[in-house]
Amino acid sequence: MPENWKRERILIWGKTRPELSQTYGELVCTGGLLESTKKLIRLYPIPLRYLDDERIFKKYQWIEASIAKTSRDTRPESYKINFNDIEIGELISIEHGSWDKRAEWILNPSNILASVEELQAHQKYNRKSLGIIKPKEVSEVKFEPVSFDEKNGWKKRYDAVLSQLDLPFVQEEKRDIQPIPPPDYRYKITFRCDDEECIKEHNFSVLDWEIDALYHNLRNRGDTPQLAATKVVEKLEQVCNPENDLHFFLGNISNHPQVFTIVGLWYPKKSKTIEQAMPLLAGM
């Protein structure tokens, strides 16, 4: 159990695909921002799909929770969270298409870097593992099938976790929580940074949980796997439209610290006259 728990007010900006843990079952790595410093942090573990309904928080919603550093993840932005004492606060909503109230917190200059290369340099010298960049251009959005061997390995790990699992935080009355299936596809964005130090294109995976949620909702509506994946790519292409003030939240992989992925998307319209922002999960 980590020491030095501290009560903090945190703005949630992202959630990644649920992972498997023999201790916690399915849990979510959640991106947040500390009100006290406006710095990006990583909260882990949050068994999001098992939390009581009133504690299932949304993106750009404030929460209060006890957090502490832990030896399991030495990245400076990573914190253990006591998921049993989370209190839900207000949601920062979009008003007339404007993300300005969110931007006051998220687009803090200390969180923004000129390029992937600059973020990797910070990682090398001070272990920085989270940052925001503004791409100069996006050249491709695509999906790739996950191999049968990868899916089979995921299923075996899932079964092993469930066989050893005891979830003390599950409500006494049973809730209809279905096991999350292994991913059928992974989604990638190819882009170039708006920085002269960026000498090549980057091809990054998108791990934002909303992408997986959109895919599963489309499948539940009757779309074939390939059609659903195609629609997800179309939605990502809309998000990456040059008319949007596109930024990527980037986070690295713990055991490969120089490898970063897209863990969140920031995409308000550049024009403040637009009356309605484009939700990522439009039509869901």
| DSSP per position, 150-196 | HHHHHHHHHHHHHHH---TTS-SS----PPPPPPSEEEEEEEEESST
193 and 126 in a single domain? The answer is yes
Q: What is the pLDDT of residue 29?
A: 82
82/209 same-domain check? no
pTM of full prediction above 0.75: yes
**Are residue 159 and residue 192 in the same domain, yes or no?**
yes
Residue that terminates a domain, selected from 67, 91, 115: 91
Q: What is the pLDDT of residues 179-190, one digit of tens each?
A: 667 789 999 999
Backbone angles phi, psi at 106, to 5 degrees: -70, -45
pLDDT in tens, 142-170: 999 998 888 887 777 666 655 544 444 34
Structural domain count, the chain: 2
Residue 271 lies in a domain: no
Task: Give a yes or no: residue 279 inside a domain.
Answer: no
Same domain, 108 and 237: yes
Same domain, 115 and 212: yes
Residue 196's domain spans which residues? 100-172+180-266
Residue 71 and residue 121 in one domain: no
Domain edge (last residue) among 91, 109, 132: 91
- Residue 278 falls within a domain, yes or no? no
CATH of the domain at 84: 2.40.50.140
Q: Where are the alpha helices (DSSP H) in the chain?
A: 100-106, 116-126, 148-164, 209-220, 225-239
Alpha-carbon gap, residue 184 to 216, rounded angstroms: 10
242 and 135 part of one domain: yes
Regions of the chain short of the pLDDT cut 70 = 1-3, 19-27, 48-55, 157-180, 271-284
Does residue 121 sit in the same domain as residue 30? no
The span from the CA of 77 to the CA of 33, in Å, is 10
Residues 132 and 261 in one domain: yes
Structural domain includes residue 284 = no
116 and 63 assigned to the same domain: no
Task: State whether 165 and 44 are in the same domain.
Answer: no
Tokens in use for 18? Answer: 């649920």
Smallest Cα–Cα separation from 249: which of 214, 207, 202, 192? 207
How much is the pLDDT for 46?
77
| 73 and 160 co-located in one domain | no
